[in-house]
């Protein structure tokens, strides 16, 4: 007989969400065990206990799916939105398997977004402690030369000190210019807040790289499966979906 395990670990192991997302689901009352709302810290035995999220039973652990999407502006990086706004789930509906965004890009940002049903992989890629490099191009308005110098130094936002891995000044115009910025932490709206702290405002923000994975020629709104080599390069050994 299987031993009891924490619910967030079970949910993550079965690819329904990362552990952090699972903990949030439990706090929001979205998880039930044997028909009763689950509590934080609760354990269960998969197979003996009936575990459900939003009324849907947790599926058997199966082959994992790894997707890279070029997220257009105007889409939320979330599974659902109470206000009825468009989400990235509409763009990957034809994947055939339910997946979840790895981290997020805000509504007005675009570019490389990963989706998967492998919770451990999602945690490895998205959690700040794993220091996965993320590269963005930012079209900004304001003194772009001054901002490039300031962005290269530690900056305090939201009572936390952040820093860019590197900053490249790509173009300069009368209104502003384009910067390429690499970070590791990936905190909420970090690039936008860093630029604002340095006196420039972002008009376009695009993520072009996560770790070793580059956006490449993928067009806005399009997605594709990641290759085994790409998945392994991000630090996870796992079973790859065959298209």
Point out the residues that are catalytic.
Answer: 106
**Phi/psi of residue 171, nearest 5 degrees:** -140, 155
Nearest Cα to Cα of residue 221 among 120, 91, 33, 128: 91
Mapping DSSP to helix (H, G, I), strand (E, B) and coil, where does residue 213 land? strand
Cα(44)–Cα(26) distance, integer angstroms: 13
Distance (Å) of CA 45 to CA 33, 121, 204: 10, 22, 47
Cα(191)–Cα(151) distance, integer angstroms: 10
Cα(90)–Cα(25) distance, integer angstroms: 21
């Amino acid at each position: 007989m299987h031993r009891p395990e924490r619910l967030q670990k079970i949910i993550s192991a079965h690819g329904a969400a990362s552990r952090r997302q699972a903990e949030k689901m439990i706090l929001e009352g979205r998880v039930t065990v044997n028909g009763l709302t689950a509590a934080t810290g609760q354990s269960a035995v998969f197979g003996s206990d009936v575990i459900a999220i939003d009324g849907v039973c947790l599926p058997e652990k199966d082959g994992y799916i790894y997707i890279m999407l070029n997220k257009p502006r105007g889409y939320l990086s979330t599974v659902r939105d109470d206000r009825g706004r468009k989400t990235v789930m509409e763009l990957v509906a034809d994947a055939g398997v339910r997946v979840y965004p790895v981290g997020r890009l805000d509504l007005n940002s675009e570019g490389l977004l990963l989706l998967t049903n492998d919770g451990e992989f999602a945690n490895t890629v998205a959690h700040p402690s794993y220091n996965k490099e993320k590269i963005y191009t930012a079209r900004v308005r304001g003194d772009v030369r001054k901002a490039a110098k300031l962005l290269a130094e530690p900056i305090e936002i939201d009572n936390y000190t952040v820093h860019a891995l590197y900053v490249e000044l790509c173009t300069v115009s009368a209104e502003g210019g384009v910067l390429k910025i690499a970070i590791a932490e990936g905190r909420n709206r970090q690039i936008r807040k860093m630029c604002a702290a340095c006196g420039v405002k972002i008009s376009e923000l695009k993520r072009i790289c996560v770790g070793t994975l580059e956006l490449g020629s993928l067009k806005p709104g399009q997605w594709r499966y990641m290759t085994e080599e790409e998945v392994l390069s991000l630090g996870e050994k796992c079973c790859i979906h065959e298209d």
